Amino acid sequence: MQPPKFEIQMLHDRVMIRLEQAAEERRSGSGIVIPATVKMANRLAWGEICGVGSNVRSVKVGDKVLLNPEEQYEVELHAQVYLVMRERDLHAVATQETDHGTGLYL
């Protein structure tokens, strides 16, 4: 289902991000099942950029970014929760193709 469109102009170096839904359970590298109820401290999350301010230089709407969701500002629009943060607080951006082959640039 496509989320509804909304008109919001983010200011300065702010970005609006929709977090990806976490999987119900995860597996460790050795195959141990980690239930969804287990919270991991300082765990980074992936999200999608939904809005950018005029001074944002490294990301654009639609980019997939890595961020720390803790202690960020939240806003609810159309029954969906978004994070609002500064561009400098993003950790990485996923790309479709790179010259270096990693799929991420920092």
Domain count, the chain: 1
Q: What is the CATH number of the domain that holds 74?
A: 2.30.33.40
In a domain, 4, yes or no: no
What is the C-alpha to C-alpha distance for residues 93 and 30, in angstroms, rounded to an integer? Answer: 27
In a domain, 54, yes or no: yes
Segment 19-50, tens digit of pLDDT: 876 555 566 677 777 665 555 567 788 899 99
Of 105 and 30, the structure prediction assigns the larger pLDDT to 30
Q: Which domain, by its residues, includes 76?
A: 14-21+42-105
**For residue 30, what are the CA distances in angstroms to 33, 39, 40, 41, 98?**
9, 19, 17, 20, 30
pTM for the whole structure: 0.67
Of 78 and 83, the structure prediction assigns the larger pLDDT to 83
Q: What is the pLDDT of residue 32?
A: 74
